[in-house]
Each structure stands twice: as structure tokens, then as C-alpha cells.
Amino acid sequence: MSDIVVILPDGSELSVPDGASVEDAAYEIGPGLGKDTVAGVVNGELVDKASELHDGDDLVIVTDQSDEYLDVLRHSAAHVFAQALQRLHPEAKLTIGPWTDEGFYYDVTNVDLDMDDLEDVEAEMDAIIEEDLDIERELVDREDALAKYEDNEFKREILETEAAGDDQLSFYKQGEFEDLCKGPHVESTGEIGAFKLLNISSAYWRGDEENETLTRVYGTAFASESDLHDFLEMREEAKERDHRKLGQELELFSIDETTGPGLPLYHPNGKRILDELADFAKQLNLDAGYDPVETPHLFRTELWKKSGHYENYVDDMFLLDVNDEEYGLKPMNCPGHATIFDQRSWSYRDLPVRYFEDGKVYRKEQRGELSGLSRVWSFTIDDGHLFVRPDQIEDEINLIIENILEVFDTFGLDAEVALATRPEKSVGSDEIWEQAETQLRAVLDDSGIDYGIEAGDGAFYGPKIDFAFKDALGRKWDGPTVQLDFNMPDRFDLSYTGEDNEEHQPVMIHRALYGSYERFFMVLIEHFNGKFPFWLAPEQVRILPISDDQLGYAKRLKNRDFGDFRVEIEDRSWTLGRKIREAQEDRVPYMIIVGGDEAETQTISVRDRKEREAKDVEIEDFRAHLEAEREEKREEPDFLDE
């Protein structure tokens, strides 16, 4: 039997027999690792340890010490939920039950459930875990699988679509329960140390609102009770930080059904923050040599057909008829930027050409998937597109990555990086995709950045480097991206004159520093819990006169001494204590308190939202500090730091 070679995380090669599984490879490395193997990550995809390996596969062995183990455990918890539900409600019809970043869910139908029912289901889940049932994988012939699901049209649809080409199907059994599933799973139900069913919602089959409405039950699971306890505490904190709640309390934004779903309205406070974000991004772009451009909100669909968006994105586009011509609201800005580039001649000396635009785009998400600012119909991308020579790719991407990491550092966010590879729905040849993925991988390897692989998550026109934000609670949010595109320049027949006086095709790089303003704004609201840094805060200073006698002094401070900051005066006839409480609830970074003594000595008292206070402060000293805090974009108000 011939051998194949798989690539281990450290870049070393391991020879294993042709037909070897993930578990076999683990035993080749060592008997202890083989015994501890739970699953594997092959080419970025989490798979069962029995999965067969192929020559050239990237392989990571998953044990109970791996980050991926929690995903495996939660997948098994989803099966325990389904088994418990069917013990209590044999009529329940199962659809799908994957793991998620925070736990798992299972979509079911043919059964009425409410939150009160979950307590009984949890009790039955406890019993199943106590039984410590072996979880065993078996392969079932297609005809037998179809027979098993004679009365379940959802599972039959999976068999006839996603698994259409498979003669044998993977099932997992535990006790009397079995489920069509690719896995992976833990060895037995007893490995689930702690779990909790969290809530119930409705969901459309396949996420399509034209399909049947299902009941979705969310849960989570951990290896230990202490981990579950920490998660539930964090979840309660997350509720307090929810951007929809804070958005209303702090008057940042609203979404009104009368204006349309997924169409946010930004109030003055929210717009002030967005303007600061836009100014910051603009300066980064100008410093990096980008030129500003602007494109309209819609184009004739001929442009979208030319770019490939019509074929690959038409279901997510808003289309309209104008004088018997079809137009589409733009889902992306790149075709407009490619058209601008195409409208003049370029020499190799002119490249790279860099454009940037805060471009409003529109995507027709399913209404059931819309959620605050995280999923909307209308959003703004801080978009940038570069047209470069092939020899400039690595330097340009490295500069982009530097700018993206500066954004992370400025806001105190941690980055998680991944290379997203070719999706099923894509344009371009295998050779072009292989070249693009190889170049992005080389940039990441040379940079020393730790990154994962997101198999099949690339854009339809090219692979990308995705940066995810990790916030103060450790949650991960989609963020900036860098995309390498050989396809759109070909579709638009873009060219430049090379040093050899021949026509050459540029490479197009798509990049965003925030991702979208909406998603980034959401992350910041929750990350800072509404307590924005001074430079970003919609109201930076609130002046609190102790009585009406100090209103004149307060107005002088606002207009003459602090006129270039965002300052308000609290002039309502309240006690000083109430004024302070109101300012703290509004998360204003600084309060200036002025009474008779301050007015007489022409000084101020300064209080911050951490409830620290200093008296007899010189106006110029405080002003100089505010200027420095704004210029340096410090994360926390620090005038009163010891």
C-alpha cells in the first residue's frame, strides 16, 4: 500500500498509509495522542476522527485540551437535547442541530414548546448524560437512510441535496436515538459536564421565509459546571451591554418598522460618533496614499452582470425597473471603483492606484435574520480598492494589515485572523484561485500572524483574510477584511502599460478597515458598554452649575474656554446630586461643577464618570489635558488618574 503525506500544524510532513483516518495519523505520531484523539481539523474543517485523509491535507489533531473540543462537546449536547425531546414528545420532527460559537441549537417542528417545557427537557437530558451512552458512528446505505426518514421531509431534503452524491451516509447513535450527521462527537453522553437550555425562537427552514416556520431551541454546554457558571454570568453582562438597549437609552439610533426593516436611523448622538469614526478612517486612508471617490447608490444591472454579482448575488439584491430598464441598489462598491479605474490609461509607474469611499450598500437579508445593527438591509462599508502590479501585492497587503491592526490597537480590541478560501459559488479558474490563496497564505506566514482557515468562506471573486474583533467580554465579531481578486480585472478588461510597453492586467485588492460602520458601531457600543472614549463620546463634557447664579459662568466656559469640544450645560432646576447621577447614566466622560467659589476664583471642579473629583482646577490645565486626550485617542478618561 502506498503512503500519502499530510501537513501538521508546525509545517512538518507526516507519512501515513493511503486510506488512513485522522485517528490513524494520531497514532502514527504517538500512542498517547492516538488514544486521546476526539476529532480532527482537516483543511480548516472540523471532522470525525474516522474521516479519511488525502495526500496534501492540512491536519490538526483535536483532543479534549483543544479549542475545538468545545464545538464537538456542544454538537453532542444538541443530540442529547434531540433525544430527550423525542423521549418526551415522540411526535417531534427533527431538522438540523449544529453547534454555534456560544452553544448549539436544534430546529424542530410538529411539537408545541414554550420556556416552561424546557425544564422537563433538561431533566431528561440529565438522565441521558447520567446513562453515559456510547455515541457511535455508522455508515448507512442511501436507500436505508431514505427509509429511516420516510416521514421526515426535512431530513429527506438533506439527503437529496447536500448528500446527493453519497452512496453511504453518516449516522450517529446513542441508545435508542440516531441522527443523520457528519459529526464529530465525543465518545459518550457522560462527557457533557454541564449544559443549559437558554431560549426558544422561531426560524425558517433553510433561513428562507418562503419555507415552513420551525421552533428553534438554543442551548449551551461545557465540560464543567464552573465554565457554565462563568458563561451565564457573562451572558447576563452581555444583556446589559446589548447595543439595541443602549442605543435606545443613549439615543444613538433606532430602527422603525414604519420606515422599513433593517434600515437604521441615526440620532444626533449616534451620528456624532459615526462622524468621528469616518474622520479617523479618512485620515488613515489619506496617510496611506488613497484617493477619495464616490459612486451612486444604484447601477444598471448590466454592470452587476459584468462584475458577476448578478449571477452570484441576485437573490440578495434590491432590483427596480426604471423606464423598462432594470437597475439594482448596489450590494458592493467594487464594480463602481473598477469602472473609475477603467476610464483612463495607466502606466506601470502609476500603480498602485488606491481608492477609498464610505459607500452605502444594500443587501436583502431575510427579515427573520435582521438584528439591530448586526444584520441590516442598508449599511456603509469603509471601502477601499487597490489596483496593483503582481510584484506589489505583498507590500500592499502588509500595509493594509498595519492599518487594520492600528484600528484594533486604537479601540483596545483583540484580533482573530483567518484565511477564507474558495466558496462553492465562485467565478474564475482553479489556477487563479490557487495563485490568490497561495499569495495570501504567504503574506500571513511571513508576517508571523497566527491565523486559522475558514474553508469555503471566501468572496465569490477571490479569497480573503478576515479579521474578527474580540470585545471586552471575549466575544468574536466579524470585522475588517482583505480580499485578493484576479477575476474582476479580467471581467472588466482592466489594463496598464508595463515597462515592456505591453498591456498587462492589474490585480485588484478589496479592503475595509472597519468592515462596515454599522457592525463596528455595534461592537463599540457593547465593548465600551456605552462608555465611549473621550474623543469618540457624543457629549464629552457636561457643565453642572450648582445654582442659576452660575449659569453665566457656565456659558462662558462652554463658549469661550471649551468651545471646540462637545459640551452641554445642565440648566434644569435639579439638585447637584441629581445632575451628577444623570450625567453618569448618560456616560458623559467629564463633568465640570461650578458653584460660587469656582465662579469667584475662575476655576472649576472636575468629576469623571468613575466618580472621582478634583477641586480648584485651573481651566487651562484641564483644557490642555482634554486636547491631549482627544489627540492621542486614549481609551479611558484619565485626567484624575493618580
Q: Which residues are annotated as a binding site for Zn(2+)?
A: 334, 385, 510
Lookup: cell for 82: 434531540
User: Please, what is the Cα angle at 203 between 459 and 245, to 5 degrees?
Assistant: 85
Put the strands of the sheet holding 613-617 in their side by side order: 567-569, 541-545, 590-594, 604-608, 613-617
Asked if 319 and 327 touch (Cβ cutoff 8 Å), the reply is yes
Longest dimension (CA), the chain: 95
Which triple of cell numbers denotes residue 573? 432646576
Q: Nearest-CA neighbor of 3 among 12, 632, 11, 14? A: 14
Grid cell 510597453 is found at 501
Q: CA–CA separation, 590 vs 434, rounded Å?
A: 54
Residue with cell 483583540: 414
Q: 218: helix, coil or strand?
A: strand
Q: What is the distance between the alpha carbons of residues 52 and 45, in angstroms, rounded to a whole number? A: 13
- Work out the number of other CB atoms within 10 angstroms of the CB of residue 25: 26
How many angstroms separate the CA atoms of 636 and 629, rounded?
Answer: 9
Q: Which cell numbers hold the place of 598?
A: 469656582
Q: What residues form the annotated binding site?
A: 334, 385, 510
Please name every residue paired with 323 in a beta bridge, in sequence order, or none if there are none.
none
Residue 337 near residue 452 (C-beta atoms within 8 A): no
Query: HEC profile for 270-290?
Result: HHHHHHHHHHHHHHHHHHCCC
Cis preceding linkage at 264, omega within 30:
no
